[in-house]
Amino acid sequence: MSAIRAQHVYKVFGRRSGEAVKRLKAGKTRDEVKPLGTAAVIDASFEVNKGETFVVMGLSGSGKSTLIRTLNGLLPPTAGTIEVDGDDIAGVSPAELRAIRRQKISMVFQHFALLPHRSVLDNAAYPLEIQGVGKAERRERAAESLKLTGLAGWEDSLPSQLSGGMRQRVGLARALAADTDILLMDEAFSALDPLIRREMQDQLVELQASLGKTIVFITHDLNEAMYLGDRIAVMRDGRIVQIGTAEQILTEPADDYVMQFVADVDRSRVLTAGSLMRRPVVTIHAGAGPAVALRELREAQASAAYVVDRRRVLHGSVYDDEILTAHRQGATTLEGLVHPDSSAVKADASLSELFAPAAEARLPLAVVDDGGKLLGVVPRVALLEAMAPPGALSGDSPASADSPASADSPASADSPASVHSPASDDSAAVPAGSTAPADGARAAVDHHATSEGGAR
């Protein structure tokens, strides 16, 4: 059972809201019903799974706050149903609704109104106080949640003695102290400085790994959305225009609006080796002899290849020159010719973790599972392509036509020979920010970055 289930939820502000919904359902647009009221949420349907971080993202005014407020009954929807843990919250009495809110749902806001004359500990314990939890217990639970958010030692301070980031941690600790399964966070980190914000994001991810809450997180920042969200709902003018994983939204944006959003995303934090990997052009069986290995390399026009056993467990890589020498010397097996691979990555490695190993590797990076099985390879050119927004590398983009990277990469991505191309060619495909070895490569990358900017 999902933690939250919203079906065809509408929220219209205005005196004729019911009529507005009727007309929206009949196909009228948000602007057309404007005289009847402001349609803040239009036909929103989604489910949030237990333990999931579900992000709602959209520009200011797109209806995010209104939507999240319907989820805990702060705002009754004009139409549609919302179930929390299977209970339809529109159908319960006000007392039951309060109980659901207390026991199941906590909320963290952007500006969490801390009580200025109360200590950090008492602020964190506040919801428990409201619930009538005894002093000793609520202080213990609040201290525990302050520890979780990195505020141990600050229990007796006043909010005014804390930085903005720390105050937001108190807000988070307060929500955690209530120990509800569901956390609603409305732009909770948006007021923080970028570095602090990043810290809070990391902390939330870490907390979530151990606590397994169901989180609905609202943000207008796509980087934040993609970093935090298991799934993301993109809102535009009151409607959810796409729901998907970060990868899906990045690689298959539903429309131009989403596409424009993702144009600016820091892809290095979102894309993973698993989504970038391809089938290796050639792999050589561990039991093969030099003659067979040479033949396979020749067929694939490759100078090197990975060696796998029958279960596709990666043994390492072999190089044509070494095999040839061994072959001439009468070798009958590849023994002693297989170089162990130390740069193999897991499928969930993020793009940013791939640059350094990719810069050094002679072969496309190997992607392996926990058992060491070869799942695929990530050519450097795939890294570069992934860094650019969709369309920026395609031939019809005028700005990319003269970019060295884009001129080479589309063809080389699919051609067997170029996957194993010499390091000098390949180094131009090392994205900016990584350890590009030569100045020439750096210049090429900078040039590419410029043309990418122009393509937007």
Ligand X SMILES: Nc1ncnc2c1ncn2[C@@H]1O[C@H](COP(=O)(O)OP(=O)(O)O)[C@@H](O)[C@H]1O
Stretch of residues binding ligand X (CB under 6 A), selected from 64-72, 196-204, 336-344, 439-447:
64-72
CB of 190 to Mg ion, least distance (A): 9
- Beta-strand pair 314-319/304-308: antiparallel
> Nearer to ligand X by C-beta: 70 or 397?
70
* C-beta of residue 139 within 8 angstroms of C-beta of residue 125: yes
> Nearer to ligand X by C-beta: 13 or 257?
13
Q: Which of residues 23-62 bind ligand X (CB under 6 A)?
A: 38, 40, 58, 60-62
CB of 24 to ligand X, least distance (A): 14
Rounded (10°) angle between helices 164-177 and 120-130: 30
> Nearer to ligand X by C-beta: 8 or 442?
8
Q: Which does 219 bind (CB under 5 to 8 A by kind): Mg ion, ligand X, none?
A: none
> Nearer to ligand X by C-beta: 14 or 51?
14
d(C-alpha 302, C-alpha 307), whole Å: 13
Nearest by Cα to 388 from 360, 351, 418: 351
- The tally of CA atoms less than 13 A away on the side-chain side of residue 135 is 0
CA 242 to chain centre: 15
d(C-alpha 252, C-alpha 250), whole Å: 6
Taking CB under 6 A as the criterion, the residue among 12, 53, 55, 63 binding ligand X is 63
Q: Which does 427 bind (CB under 5 to 8 A by kind): ligand X, Mg ion, none?
A: none
> Nearer to ligand X by C-beta: 13 or 331?
13
CB of 42 to ligand X, least distance (A): 11
Taking CB under 6 A as the criterion, the residue among 53, 65, 72, 434 binding ligand X is 65
Q: Say whether residue 418 binds Mg ion (CB under 5 A).
A: no
**How many residues sit close enough to ligand X to count as binding (CB under 6 A)?**
11
187 SS3 class: coil
* C-beta of residue 387 within 8 angstroms of C-beta of residue 268: yes
CB of 216 to ligand X, least distance (A): 13
> Nearer to ligand X by C-beta: 40 or 273?
40
d(C-alpha 430, C-alpha 446), whole Å: 11
> Nearer to ligand X by C-beta: 64 or 104?
64
Helices (H), 263-350: 273-276, 290-299, 320-328
Look up residue 207 and give its two tokens: 């907390």
The strand order across the sheet containing 79-84 reads 38-48, 4-13, 79-84, 87-88
DSSP string, 382-419: HHHHHHSPTTTTSTT-GGGTT-HHHHHHHHHHH-HHHH
CB of 65 to Mg ion, least distance (A): 3
> Nearer to Mg ion by C-beta: 218 or 284?
218
> Nearer to ligand X by C-beta: 65 or 421?
65
Binding mask 411-450 for ligand X (x = CB under 6 A): ----------------------------------------
d(C-alpha 302, C-alpha 433), whole Å: 29
Q: Say whether residue 64 binds ligand X (CB under 6 A).
A: yes
Q: Say whether residue 66 binds ligand X (CB under 6 A).
A: yes
d(C-alpha 129, C-alpha 264), whole Å: 44
Stretch of residues binding Mg ion (CB under 5 A), selected from 21-29, 65-73, 117-125, 314-322:
65-73
Stretch of residues binding Mg ion (CB under 5 A), selected from 57-65, 192-200, 294-302, 344-352:
57-65
d(C-alpha 6, C-alpha 72), whole Å: 11
Nearest by Cα to 172 from 194, 201, 138, 198: 201
CB of 77 to Mg ion, least distance (A): 17
The contact set with ligand X (CB under 6 A) reads 13, 38, 40, 58, 60-66
The contact set with Mg ion (CB under 5 A) reads 65
